[in-house]
């Protein structure tokens, strides 16, 4: 488990994303470049309705995207509620590298992206629009545990959600990326955990990195990814740290936790990794020199 470089990412679609990250890592490339390249894959995937283009819209029909990125030096950048821009992870990186800020939101983020050469385009696809109109008939906002959970099968590429990715490069440096269209049918303006440093993603190059997926409100409440990294700092393995963070979420709101999904994924400096979720159905992908397309069924509390 300790071969470097290595890249891990959430859900089944992480397998394809890892391949793009691997093409950077295998040539001695930087973890930061790897996670950006990897996160762009589901962002561009038209069959993926939870990340980037073709993501499901909010209650009012706007596709609003959230993303963040963090490197081995503690540099970080994020965008939240950005519209019309298909690669929010790359905008987040530009916020990190070209501004003195960490996060841009809404119109400001969009404007910044356009100024840096991103093309404004409609992200709502006819298919997503149709699903939204279907939802409007009842307009019941109830987060599903895992999208299509009923039919959950490992290897079902589109069974979910946010992509969180963590890479450890040949030099031993860690970076992470997280990108999503957020919970489908959310209130306009709602921001989840995914663009929030410490919640959806955290990297500390002395210790390791962590990322999350699922109902962002519970992750924010517990500063989830930061918690996982701090637990690793205290000596826990990535697996133990993810388990402890999930248990913390359950302990704080046991009734809520029964109804929702939250999953954490973590890696440490040695390249050991682990994951844990509240509910079954979580999966993550691992890619290193020995095995490029590993997909692992995440353990869960329930």
Of the residues 183, 242, 257, 266, which one makes contact with ligand SD4 according to CB under 6 A = 183
Among 43, 72, 84, 193, binds ligand SD4 (CB under 6 A): 193
Give me the least distance between CB of 210 and ligand SD4, in Å please: 13
Q: Please, which residue, 90 or 147, has the CB nearer to ligand SD4?
A: 147
Say how many C-beta atoms besides its own lie within 10 A of residue 62's C-beta: 16
Residue choice 176, 192, 208, 209 for contact with ligand SD4 (CB under 6 A): 192
Cα separation, 84 vs 75, whole angstroms? 26
- Comparing CB distances to ligand SD4, the nearer of 24 and 220 is 220
What tokens appear for 33 in the block? 């470049």
Cis check: omega of the bond before 5, within 30 degrees of 0 = yes
In angstroms, what is the minimal distance from the CB of 183 to ligand SD4? 5
From CA 106, how far away is CA 275, in angstroms rounded? 32
Beta-bridge partner residues of 296? 284
170 contacts 25 by C-beta, under 8 angstroms: yes
Which positions from 194 to 233 touch ligand SD4 by CB under 6 A, shown as an x/- string? x------------------xxxx-----------------
Least distance CB 261 / ligand SD4 (angstroms): 6
What is the total count of residues that contact ligand SD4 (CB under 6 A)? 12
Tell me whether residue 172 is exposed, middle or buried, using C-beta atoms within 10 angstroms of its C-beta: 0 to 12, 13 to 18, 19 or more.
middle
Alpha-carbon gap, residue 37 to 18, rounded angstroms:
9
Q: Which is nearer to ligand SD4, 88 or 214 (CB)?
A: 214
Alpha-carbon distance of 7 to 17, in angstroms, equals 10
Please give the residues from 133 up to 162 whose contact with ligand SD4 meets the rule CB under 6 A: 161-162
Nearer Cβ to ligand SD4 (194/268): 194
Q: 257 near 242, Cβ under 8 Å?
A: no
SS3 at position 113: helix
Check binding of 12 to ligand SD4 (CB under 6 A): no
Measured between alpha carbons, how far is 212 from 158 in angstroms, rounded to an integer?
Answer: 17
> Hey, is 272 helix, strand or coil?
coil
State which residue, 192 or 198, has the beta carbon closest to ligand SD4: 192
Concerning whether 10 is annotated as a catalytic residue, the answer is: no
- The residue from 162, 179, 180, 211 that is catalytic is 162
Annotated catalytic sites, by residue?
Answer: 162
Annotated binding site for substrate: 190-193, 213-216
- Contact positions vs ligand SD4 (CB under 6 A): 161-162, 180, 182-183, 192-194, 213-216
């Amino acid at each position: 488990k300790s071969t470097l470089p290595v890249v891990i990412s959430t859900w089944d679609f992480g397998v394809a994303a890892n391949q793009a990250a691997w093409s950077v890592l295998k040539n001695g490339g930087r973890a930061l470049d790897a996670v950006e390249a990897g996160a762009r894959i589901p962002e561009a995937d038209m069959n993926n309705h939870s990340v980037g283009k073709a993501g499901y819209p909010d209650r009012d029909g706007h596709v609003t995207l959230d993303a963040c990125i963090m490197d081995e030096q503690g540099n970080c950048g994020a965008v939240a509620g950005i519209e019309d821009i298909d690669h929010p992870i790359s905008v987040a990186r530009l916020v990190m590298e070209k501004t003195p800020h960490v996060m841009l939101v809404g119109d400001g983020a969009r404007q910044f992206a356009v100024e840096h050469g991103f093309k404004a385009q409609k992200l709502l696809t006819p298919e997503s629009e149709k699903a939204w109109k279907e939802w409007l008939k009842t307009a019941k906002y109830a987060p599903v545990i895992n999208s299509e959970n009923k039919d959950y099968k490992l290897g079902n590429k589109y069974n979910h959600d946010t992509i969180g990715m963590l890479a450890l490069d040949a030099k031993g440096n860690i970076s992470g990326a997280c990108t999503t269209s957020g919970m489908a049918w959310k209130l306009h303006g709602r921001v989840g955990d995914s663009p929030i440093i410490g919640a959806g993603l955290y990297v500390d190059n002395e210790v390791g990195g962590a990322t999350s997926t699922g109902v962002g409100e519970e992750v924010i409440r517990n500063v989830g990814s930061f918690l996982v990294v701090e637990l690793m700092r205290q000596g826990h393995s990535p697996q133990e740290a993810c388990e402890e963070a999930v248990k913390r979420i359950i302990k704080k709101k046991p009734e809520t936790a029964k109804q929702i999904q939250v999953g954490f994924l973590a890696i440490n400096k040695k390249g050991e990794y682990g994951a844990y979720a509240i509910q079954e159905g979580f999966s993550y992908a691992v890619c290193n020199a020995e095995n490029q397309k590993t997909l692992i069924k995440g353990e869960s509390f329930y």
